[in-house]
Amino acid sequence: MNQQIERDFPPGHPGASDYDPESPEAIEWARKNVHPLGDRDFAVDHPKALDTAGNLNHLPVTAGVDPLNPHREAFTGRTPKQVAAIKTLSEAASKAAVESPVVQPVDAAMVNRLLDQKRTELNRDLLTPEEYQSVLRDYHAVRSSGVAAATEELKLTTEQQAISYVMSRGYQVDVATIIVQREGAEKILKSAGIVPG
């Protein structure tokens, strides 16, 4: 059996043990790989080299477009028939789409307290879906009554509104208080076009 020797370098490469600079392999290797002036971007016979027959350098390079299939949709590569079908499906889905209802904001800590109260009341940890829903319904009722009470509590008196208006004109709080006491809160609000509330 004839034993074949594995080569470290291809024939004609300067690193090969049998390198002969005059051999046809060495001349061909130098033609492809030696460019002392750095005048080549690509090796000889590389598909992108200008002097390679059949190179594709004349095709424009556009983001997402396959230069060999410019008729296809950019980035997806879909055919015009596929694009039309997807457009039809998308239009049908858009017409059938219904906007989701607005969900009321929830205070998680308060809901957890109400759920714990319900569990304590029933003397068990696991609630049925109906029980859970009833707690959420009760939460919104409790919350709306709490919001109404807080709104009423936060209403400014006529005097507080007048002081706030005078302060917005650049006066300090103590000076604004004196002005309101001297001029009268309703008179100041009336001159500002504010209806006391």
Domains of the chain, residue spans? 7-59, 108-154, 158-192
Give the residue with greater pLDDT, 24 vs 142: 24
78 pLDDT higher than 90? yes
Contacts of 44 (CB under 8 A, 6+ apart): 31, 32, 33, 51, 52
pTM of the model: 0.34
Q: What is the pLDDT of residues 186-197, one digit of tens each?
A: 888 888 777 766
pLDDT category at 150 given cuts 50, 70, 90 is low
Residue 128 to residue 47: CA distance in whole angstroms: 69
User: Three-class SS string for 65-118?
Assistant: CCCCCCCCCCCCCCCHHHHHHHHHHHHHHHHHCCCCCCCCCCCHHHHHHHHHHH
Mean pLDDT of the chain: 84
Q: For residue 184, what is the DSSP state?
A: -
